[in-house]
Structure 1
């Protein structure tokens, strides 16, 4: 009996037929003992794959394509806590302005007009920059999938190119002292001292446990972070790994650190005993070093709220003092939790610590980030350092002061 010639892509394997193909990047793999039925299913599968790409080429809009790309390509490469913020960033930027456009119709001018509209609406440069970077990735994948011929994001003009980035402020030593004086009687006194003595990120502060502190070696191990986000309107607090690999580090006790930590531990143990069952700490958040007065984790919101309260009290006190002393009130600046991290770095540089040491203490992923802070410190000291130069004429007098004029003339003649 003559062997039946099988169609392309179909082969026989131990009494069963197998069909394999790759159509428009879609893998097809089917099995059936009935050859005719397999042929029919195989053709249907190939046609479906063709139609799928044709639909994407002709009908899919940007919002649909972004969601497919983000789900299948991007989401598994980022932290779980970053997925929702990334989606939200796209939705309120390009998703809002050009999301309903078909991807085949999007041109560089459409992207440019969306950026212009964002700038006009007062959106921050950081939000626009993040959104454009992600859109470029998304559209580059569309090019690779043969859905569009070119990436429309590559030739747009961005508003942040010629704008100087906003300088991160740091508290002066006087301002830092004033803050610590103000929180002297606060439940959060030790927390503020800790931030000034370590420069930890506010998430790292919230995720620190007593088991991370080695009182014998006098080091603090930073190996987790508190993440606080909202998913579908529900608040979600979880402990996650730090921002980068470099963020996992050991910070030595500096200044009055041991005294501060002992004070925090004693105060916390006493309050826990007083509150009993009312102390709010689940299994995951048990053993946290810094908590609210009821045992909840110290999130960014809590730290920011306490800073605002302290600033408000300092302004009120300054206003009263100015009236009593018959002078203009001094400015008490607003600042946020990250300012205390920048302040710690500034104190390090003011005390002439090496940049690589400061990088290790802060857990920066790149020395350039650390040196950027160092540049700010140098800028502030520029006038002071320039005064050391003097003038050319003064230096000339000093250079000849005390020299034997006869010897100078003899030396000069000997070279003639």
Structure 2
């Protein structure tokens, strides 16, 4: 009777094959001498066990996060999200406890790191994002037997009450003054477009002429311009919008058609003048709004132009105030997203239905539209409430009897 082969070993065509998986490491060896093969097989299994023991005792949080992220996480997210996610970890847990060995991290260490972030004014949203990603990362370490328990499970982001920062919406007068200030600017049409569509800055930067339908008089929002830094290199690319609802059509409103035709004419003229100096790559060509040299309009460009305009407006107001012997009027500061908020405010002021505004804005939920812009309703709430009336319509006789009853109660209360 043939001698039974050791576990994991089989004979095939006069040679032997030894196979095993130890601590997630696959071992597959071949040989014609069974004794030599078994000796090599046992060494390989021992090395695999030692590898896990080494990793358990030596690997740091930063080392494990990098391995987990490159092997697991980055294959599940958009390419444009990779750099922001890594940067978030690097300036949060990577900075505070990243050098600690994975096996030594306790819940108290994680909590102390969060408390330190709080003291250093790291935003709560950044802290929550980092904690969620750390939980996910350490869950994977747990599944790979590198730790016995996830230290994040009983940890919470420090809670402090902070009054929510109200979004700024320009009044109609402020909007008019700002657009007047941009009248001679290369970016005039761009800011008119933002006020007439409420698009996000990324959507503005990713807008192509192929998205403009002059025949049907609609603007198609189909993509967004993403700008990030990866390994120290600036990267710009066109990506899908924020949510499914972000893909939408916005009809030409106000002077939209006139503005877009003016932009097209102005841009074509400058392209011809600059020739080869016009900055346009194959993947970022045909953009509706660019800098004066053809580069994409990223957030920084929009913010810079707003700040420059506000500075000029403030200086002009200061001079005018001196001439008129009065205090200068406040020129409120605002950022690019404020123009999106302003567009929604104009819509509500024109009594557009919330569902219509939701579709124009590309919000994923009607609650977002209402929660962000409810302050617009404050000015008209009293008049709107009056429209509701009563729960039950009264006949003249019922109304008369009710008034008599109220009069009697009032009289008795004064007796």
TM-score range, shorter chain: 0.7 to 0.9
- 1:367 and 1:36 map into 2 onto residues whose CA distance is 72
Could you tell me how far 1:98 is from its partner in structure 2?
1.0
Conserved? CA contact 1:210–1:287, under 8 Å: yes
Question: Alpha-carbon deviations, 1:227-270, whole Å to 9, x = none?
Answer: 22223333222222222333222222222111111110011111
Equivalent position SS for 1:150: coil
Q: Any residues of structure 2 matched to 1:186-225 within 5 Å, and which? A: 186-225=185-224
- 2:312 and 2:403 map into 1 onto residues whose CA distance is 70
- 1:268 and 1:183 map into 2 onto residues whose CA distance is 17
Residue in structure 2 matched with residue 308 of structure 1 by the alignment: 307
Conserved? CA contact 2:246–2:364, under 8 Å: yes
**2:26 pairs with one of 3, 25, 28:** 28
Residue in structure 2 matched with residue 142 of structure 1 by the alignment: 141
Whether 1:97 and 2:96 are equivalent positions in the alignment is yes
Conserved? CA contact 1:62–1:99, under 8 Å: yes
Residue in structure 2 matched with residue 71 of structure 1 by the alignment: 70
Conserved? CA contact 2:27–2:44, under 8 Å: no
Higher mean C-alpha displacement, 354-363 vs 208-217: 354-363
Equivalent position SS for 2:152: coil
Cα RMSD, aligned residues only: 2.9
Residues 405 and 134 (structure 1), Cα distance of their counterparts in 2 relative to 1, 3 Å cut: closer
- 1:94 and 1:376 map into 2 onto residues whose CA distance is 38
Query: Please, which runs of 5 or more residues in structure 1 have no aligned partner?
Result: 391-398
Query: Please, which runs of 5 or more residues in structure 2 have no aligned partner?
Result: 387-394, 409-415
Q: Any residues of structure 2 matched to 1:101-120 within 5 Å, and which? A: 101-120=100-119
- 1:304 and 1:219 map into 2 onto residues whose CA distance is 26
- 1:368 and 1:50 map into 2 onto residues whose CA distance is 54
- 1:4 and 1:375 map into 2 onto residues whose CA distance is 83
Q: Any residues of structure 2 matched to 1:242-261 within 5 Å, and which? A: 242-261=241-260
Equivalent position SS for 2:306: helix
Conserved? CA contact 1:59–1:102, under 8 Å: yes
Could you tell me how far 1:131 is from its partner in structure 2?
1.5
TM-score, L = length of structure 2: 0.86
Residue in structure 2 matched with residue 168 of structure 1 by the alignment: 167
Conserved? CA contact 1:15–1:33, under 8 Å: no
- 1:10 and 1:356 map into 2 onto residues whose CA distance is 68
Could you tell me how far 1:188 is from its partner in structure 2?
0.4
Residues 14 and 222 (structure 1), Cα distance of their counterparts in 2 relative to 1, 3 Å cut: farther
- 1:246 and 1:150 map into 2 onto residues whose CA distance is 40
